[in-house]
Amino acid sequence: MGDVGFARAEVKRARYAVAAVFAVHGAVTGSFATRVPWIQEHASLSAGQLGLSLAFTAVGASVSMPLAGRISHRFGSRTALRGLLALWTLSLTLPSLAPNMLGLCAAMFVYGATSGMSDVAMNALGVEIERLLGRSIMSGLHGMWSAGALVGSAAGTLAAHLGSDARLHHALAAGTLTVLGLVACSWVLNLEPAADEEPPPRFALPPRSALLIGAVGFCAVFAEGASLDWSAVFLRDRLDSSAGLAAACTTGFMLTMAVARIAGDAVVNRFGAVRTVRWGGVLTVLGGLLVVAAGHPAVAMAGFALMGLGMAVVVPLCFAAAGHAGPNPSQAIAGVATITYTSGLVAPSLIGGVAQASSLVVSFGVVTALALGLVLFAGVLRTAERGGTGAEVSRPAAGVPEPRP
């Protein structure tokens, strides 16, 4: 196959298309999260049964994510992303249809599997576009995911307020998001491997570089998951805040992360990935200390907002570093994603266990201590700095699949 290049306009168009894909992916998550109480009531589940069922999301994602590289190799990046994203958006309909715990476990496994595979595929494409543009874009792409999640959450909140059946709500949302996703995928870059390139293994342990990068992502996602799930509880139980103020703290945390991610690429392009993550870690630690020391809701809310600001760009930069670290971006990204998914699964339950044994203050002391890992180990992301600069737009970078018309 000849060396066919991309025009600059084509790469820019593909960047916006992938950004739309990220937003669609996030909207599915937001649409689901707001209707969990309805799903729990419909399936007649206790809190423990619901927690176990939701854990199958991470199980499905962890099992399936290594397959994404194989699928992209077999069908090409555009076709693979189109199919995987459609499976993910359509899987939104499954949880609300589950009549019991067993059905919900199966639904969440499929939901997590399709989420994980499409997640890897879209991040791998984002890394390739970043390589071709020669500047950081991954933070902005993840910011679009956060924005999509907020839109999906707002629509879900309205549907819940109106008392609509989640089955109908999710069917309409899935249909709309599937169409939007298919349209967006029509404009992403179409890449296929070189003729002599070996297909990636169906299942493989992540490379050592992905393990180190994933450890940094673990610290960030642990703090993110703890803050999302426990910030409102902290304000309510520790500081005797009203339910409305407690909920506003969580919403403020999400908004801070979304805004920081959208603006984060300018910071990364100016200061580099390593310094951005290191100083972000400093902000996260300071925010955690404010939370731990808080005697007033305003102080705790400021601490959570500071944590959101500090950790916002870490996961996007971890995916970027993984994609630039070796010849197989999908495999490395899948390894990092698996570690971060595990962190997101472990964090809420570990925070609850520590709080049960001691207090929520001690729990967020643990979060603050882990956030120090961002400061100490940011250097492992140096590959993102090397990979995100100096790329030529006129031709694919070394090891990048060639375009297919």
CA–CA separation, 389 vs 398, rounded Å? Answer: 14
CA torsion through residues 292, 293, 298, 304, sign: negative
Q: What is the pTM of this model?
A: 0.79
Cβ atoms of 331 and 206 closer than 8 Å: yes
Number of residues that make up the chain: 405
CA–CA separation, 145 vs 327, rounded Å? Answer: 26
Task: Quote the radius of gyration of the chain (alpha carbons, Å).
Answer: 20
| pLDDT of the residue at 393 | 37
| pLDDT of the residue at 207 | 65
| pLDDT of the residue at 389 | 42
Residue 263 tokens, joined: 């603006």
* Helix, strand, coil % over all residues of the chain, rounded to 5: 80, 0, 20
For 188, which DSSP code? S
Residue with tokens 């018309």: 405
Listed as own residue / partner, the contacts of 245-249 with beta carbons closer than 8 Å and 24 or more positions apart are: 245/297, 248/301, 249/297, 249/300, 249/301, 249/304
| pLDDT of the residue at 395 | 37
* Span 170-225, pLDDT tens digits: 999 999 999 999 999 999 998 876 666 666 655 555 667 678 888 899 999 888 88
CA–CA separation, 149 vs 27, rounded Å? Answer: 4
| pLDDT of the residue at 327 | 63
Beta-bridge partners for 402:
192
CA–CA separation, 236 vs 214, rounded Å? Answer: 33
Q: How many CA atoms lie within 13 A of 173 on its CB side?
A: 37
| pLDDT of the residue at 86 | 98
3-state secondary structure of 192: strand
| pLDDT of the residue at 183 | 97
CA–CA separation, 31 vs 169, rounded Å? Answer: 9
CA–CA separation, 320 vs 264, rounded Å? Answer: 13
CB neighbours (10 Å) of residue 11? 18
CB contact set of 218 (below 8 Å; sequence gap of 6+):
339, 340, 342, 343, 373
Q: What is the phi/psi pair of residue 34, to 5°?
A: -75, -15
| pLDDT of the residue at 345 | 67
Q: Which residues of the chain have pLDDT under 50?
A: 1-4, 389-405
| pLDDT of the residue at 398 | 34
| pLDDT of the residue at 394 | 36
3-state secondary structure of 206: coil
For the chain, how long is the longest CA-to-CA vector? 67
| pLDDT of the residue at 258 | 86
**Which helix H or strand E contains 403, and what residues bound it?**
strand 402-403
